[in-house]
Amino acid sequence: MIQPGKNGFSSIIGESLAMEQVIQLARKVVASHATTVLITGKTGTGKELLARALHHNSSRNNGAFVEVNCSAIPENLLEAELFGYERGAFTDAHGRKKGLFELASGGTLFLDEIGYMTMNLQVKLLKAIENKRIRRVGGIADIDVDIRVIAATNRDLEQAMLKGSFREDLYYRLNVISIELPSLVEREDDILLLARHFVDHFCREHQREPMMLSKRAEHSLLSHRWPGNVREIRNAIERAVLLSEGPKIVPEDIRVTVRQETSIAAPEARNGRKIVLNIPESGLSLDDVEKRVIDEVLHLSGWNKSKTARMLHIPRPRLLRKIAKYHLSPNKHRSTIGAIECEDSRNGG
C-alpha cells in the first residue's frame, strides 16, 4: 500500500499546459472503473510516478501496488513472476509461489515496458486480463484475481503492431484509456520548477544547507535539451547539490551539455532557401526577431505546422504556443519593418 500523501497527484511537479491536461485526464481515470490504462511517453518522463498516483487516488488504494519491468526479466522467469508456480513445475520450483497477479489482487498491477514482452506471454496476459483469472505454472486450477492493470511503454506500439511484434488484440485491450506523458522539451515551462523542487528535495535528503540556482545555472538548464527528461534533470540536480561548495549552484556544478543551436533560427539547406533578416537602425527586440523568423518559415512551409516545427527544430506544441503568443495567422499582413528576405540558394542567392 502506498503511503497517503506521498504518491498522489501533488507529487507530480508541473504547471505547464501539457501537464495540466495530463492531470485532468488522470483524475477522470481514477474516477472510472476501467480495468486497464496505458501510459506512453519517452524514457524518464515519469510513467511510474503517474501509475502510482493513479493507484493512490483510486478506490483500490487500500490494496497493493505491484510493479514489474517486463524488459528486465527473461520470458520463462517473467511468466513465473506474473502467474506464480506450483511445486515441481520446473527444476528449481521447490515450493508453491504466488505470482504478481495474485499479490496485486484488490489493487493495481503495473507492467512497465510492456512493449518488450514476448508474443507468447502477450497471449497469456491478454487471457488473464479478459477472464480475470490466472493459472500458476504447473497448476491445474484457475485462480480469480481482481486487479487494475496499468501498462507503460516508451515504444510506439502501433509501429510494433505493424512489424508484428505486438498483438493488436492486446493493444486494444490495454488501450481502454491512454495517457501520453510529454517530454521535457514539450513542457519547457516546467524546467525551472522541477529544478528548484529537486534542489530543495536533495538539500534535505543529503542534509545540506538550503541552496538556490544562480541565474547562469538557470540559463544552462533552459538551454539544455534534456533527452533523458525528468530523470535526467533530477540526476543533474542531485549531482549539483552534492558538488556545490556554496549556497548558489552554478553551471559548473550541473555539468550538462548545453545545446549549441538556437531553436528559432531557420536552417539553411544546401538546396533550399536562405533567410536574411533586415534589421532597422532602431533595432529589434529578441521577441520580434523570433516572431518574424517563425512567421516567415510558416509561410515558406505553406503554413504546415508540423513541417515548420521540423524546420525550426522545435516540438510542434512549442510552435503552437509561439503562434498563439505572437498572434500569427496565414492571412495576417506582415510588417515590412525588419522584413525578412528569402534567397534561393539553388540560384546562387
Per residue in 20-67, pLDDT (tens digit) is 999 999 999 998 887 899 999 999 999 999 999 999 999 999 999 999
**328: CATH:** 1.10.10.60
Q: What is the pLDDT of residues 118-161, one digit of tens each?
A: 999 999 999 999 999 999 988 889 999 999 999 999 999 999 99
Query: pLDDT higher for 259 or 160?
Result: 160
Q: What is the pLDDT of residue 269?
A: 42
Q: Are residue 333 and residue 233 in the same domain, yes or no?
A: no
Which residues, in sequence order, are bridge partners of residue 137?
85
pLDDT score, position 336: 45
* Whether 41 and 137 share a structural domain: yes
Which of 53-67, 72-86, 148-162, 250-264 has the weakest average pLDDT?
250-264
Is pLDDT of 293 > 90? no
Sign of CA pseudo-dihedral 244, 249, 252, 258: positive
The per-residue pLDDT for 278 is 65
- Is 195 domain-assigned? yes
Name the nearest CA neighbour of 14 among 211, 151, 196, 153. Answer: 196
C-alpha cell of 211? 541552496
Average pLDDT, the chain: 84
Between CA 41 and CA 113 the distance in angstroms is 11
Does one domain contain both 88 and 136? Answer: yes
| Gap between the Cα atoms of 264 and 289, Å rounded | 9
Percent of the chain with pLDDT over 90: 55
Query: Do residue 199 and residue 237 come from a single domain?
Result: yes
Instruction: Please tell me the distance from the alpha carbon of residue 40 to that of residue 165, in angstroms, as a whole number.
Output: 17
> Is residue 204 located within the same domain as residue 175?
no
Question: Looking at 127, 155, 182, which one is the last position of a domain?
Answer: 182
pLDDT at 9: 83
264 found inside a domain:
no
Residues contacting residue 239 through CB under 8 Å, at least 6 positions apart: 253, 254, 255
170 domain residue, yes or no: yes
Residue 38 has φ and ψ, to the nearest 5°, of -115, 120
Looking at the fold, whether 37 and 172 belong to one and the same domain comes out as yes
* 18 and 163, same domain (yes or no): yes
Same domain, 18 and 92: yes
At 283, the pLDDT band (50, 70, 90 cuts) reads: low
Of 91-100, 155-164, 331-340, the poorest mean pLDDT is in 331-340
What is the predicted pLDDT for the residue at 316? 78
Contact 86, 133 (CB under 8 A): no
Q: For residue 259, tell me if it sits in a domain.
A: no
DSSP assignment of 159-198: HHHHHTSS-HHHHHHHTTEEEEPPPGGGGGGGHHHHHHHH
Confidence of residue 265 (pLDDT cuts 50, 70, 90): very low
Same domain, 230 and 97: no
pLDDT for the residue numbered 42: 93
pLDDT at 275: 60
34, part of any domain: yes
Phi, psi of 175 (to 5 degrees): -90, 35
Q: Residue 176 maps to which CATH number?
A: 3.40.50.300
What is the percent of the chain with per-residue pLDDT over 70, rounded to a whole number?
Answer: 85
Examine the pLDDT at 277 and tell me if it is beyond 80.
no
Q: Choose one of 154, 182, 210: the last residue of a domain.
A: 182
My answer on whether 34 and 120 are in the same domain is yes
Residue 1 resides in a domain: no
| pLDDT average, residue stretch 303-331 | 84
- Domain-ending residue, one of 150, 182, 214: 182
Is residue 272 very low, low, confident or very high in pLDDT (cuts 50, 70, 90)? low
- Residue 111 maps to a domain: yes
Residues composing the chain:
349
E strands within 121-272? 133-134, 143-144, 148-153, 177-180, 212-213, 248-249
**Does the residue 191 lie in any domain?**
yes
Of 85, 88, 73, 94, whose CA–CA distance to 135 is shortest?
85
Instruction: Please check whether residues 56 and 150 belong to one and the same domain.
Output: yes
Nearest to 63 by CA among 23, 113, 107, 114: 107
pLDDT at 139: 86
- Number of domains the chain is built from: 3
Query: What residues does 249 pair with on adjacent strands?
Result: 213
Task: Look at residue 290 in the predicted model and tell me its pLDDT.
Answer: 84
- Find the domain containing 232 and state its range: 185-254
> Residue 123: what pLDDT?
95
Judgement on whether residues 31 and 113 belong to the same structural domain of the protein: yes
CATH of the domain at 244: 1.10.8.60
C-alpha to C-alpha distance for 209 and 217, rounded to whole angstroms: 18
Question: Sheet containing 65-69: which strands, arranged edge to edge?
Answer: 65-69, 108-112, 148-153, 36-40, 177-180
Phi first, then psi: give them for residue 54, nearest 5 degrees.
-60, -45
**End-to-end Cα separation, the chain, in angstroms:** 67
- Across 192-196, 222-226, 316-320, least confident range: 316-320
| Confidence band, pLDDT 50/70/90 cuts, at residue 256 | low
Which range among 4-13, 36-45, 288-297, 302-311 has the greatest average pLDDT? 36-45
More confident residue, 158 or 272: 158
Supply the pLDDT for residue 274: 59
- The Cα 283–Cα 296 span in angstroms is 19
pTM of the model: 0.71
